[in-house]
Amino acid sequence: MTTAPSTRSHGLALALDLGGTKVEAALVSSDGVILPGTRFRQPTGSTRSSDELAASVDLVVRQVLETMPAGAELRGIGVGAAGPIIVREGAVSPLNLRVWRGYPLRAQLEALVPGVPVTLRMDGLCITLAEHWLGAAQGYDNVMGMIVSTGVGGGLILGGQTVAGPSGNAGHIGHLEVAGFTDPCACGGHGCLEAIASGPRTVRWARDHGFVGETGEDLAAAYAAGDETAIMAVRRSGGAIGRAIASAASLVDLEIVAIGGGFSHVTPDLFDFIREPLAERVEFGYIRAVTIVPSGLSGNGPLLGAAALIHRAELVPQP
């Protein structure tokens, strides 16, 4: 979209995305435009202290507030956070940020921006909202959105409404266990999808089998060059993702799954590998009918999804 949004008549959302490597924030209009010059990010990461993480959040929010157009209304702050979360308490415990366990993120933001409502949900749910609103899942009412990156996350819209569950963690497909796999997971389980198919864990599996690269980009290049270990690694991850989706579709009867995140771009073939396990369900046409597509939003999905908590609040039941 190129038309300038009307900030006076519809108001703005301050969107905040908190993950294991960065926190990012921006102003987003009611028609889903990230306002130019309002997007800021700071690092997070497992080596940072609780105070450093809190300072990163404060900094990006203050930077965004300094860009508020004159006369514009700030309707609310929408927050998408890596899980798990406790939605009623506004608390976050991102698996890859161990110094934050039950951290009161909503209260921090309410103190920073008094009088502005704050809505917190898991980042996977925000991604799903974004795809339903502006991305690849427009026109569908039974949707799973997924992130395949440093971790694996997801969220659900069923019957046109988001499904968060009592704690806010519904749809967290990254910690669904995939039969036949025993990879240990940071959550304490074994065979979780995230432990098998995230970018870092796929690279680790490849290295354990002779691959000499170190990053997802290295693995993508090796795959494109026909490296057999890289191909096996990507096929293994894609198959695990597909099996997890088939199980989820069997449970909640999905129409479409939109998948984004950095590792989802390792090769277009990844999506063929994901679709294969669904095609095996020969007696279950509703599973084979599920459409699996790349995200339509590129790197904007997390922020647009956080903004959707404010601009599409009618789809987000309160706890």
| Pair (112, 211) in one structural domain | no
Cα 255 from chain centre: 19
Parent domain of 256: 136-296
Q: What is the DSSP string of 162-182?
A: EE-TTTS-TT-GGGSBPTT--
Tokens of 281: 């369900």
CA-to-CA distance for 181 and 184, rounded, in angstroms?
9
What are the pLDDT digits (tens) for 115-166? 999 999 999 999 999 999 999 999 999 999 999 998 899 999 999 999 989 9
The answer to whether residues 180 and 85 belong to one domain is no
**pLDDT digits over 60-79, tens only?**
999 999 999 999 999 999 99
The predicted model scores a pTM of: 0.90
Give the pairing of strands 143-148 and 118-122: unpaired
| Percent of the chain clearing pLDDT 70 (strictly above) | 97
- Same domain for 109 and 140, yes or no, is no
301 falls within a domain: no
Cα 311 to its chain centre, rounded Å, is 18
Q: Which has more pLDDT, 43 or 6?
A: 43
Same domain? For 178 and 258 the reply is: yes
Contacts of 42 (CB under 8 A, 6+ apart): 22, 23, 56, 57, 59, 60
Q: What angle do the packed helices 105-112 and 50-65 form, to 10 degrees? A: 40
Same domain assignment for residues 157 and 273: yes
CATH of the domain at 23: 3.30.420.40
- Residues 40/56, Cβ–Cβ less than 8 Å: no
| Tally of structural domains, the chain | 2
pLDDT band per the 50, 70, 90 thresholds, residue 8? very low
Residue 128 in any domain: the answer is no
Residue 302 placed within a domain = no
Same domain, 255 and 176: yes
Tallying the residues shown for the chain, one arrives at: 319
pLDDT digits (tens, 9 = 90+) for 22-61: 999 999 999 999 999 999 999 998 899 999 999 999 999 9
Contact in structure between 10 and 76 (CB atoms under 8 Å):
no
Indicate whether 202 belongs to any domain. yes
Contact criterion met (CB below 8 Å) for 185 and 194: yes
Interior CA angle at 132 toward 160 and 247, to 5°? 75
Task: Decide if 40 is inside a domain.
Answer: yes
Rg, the chain, Cα only: 19
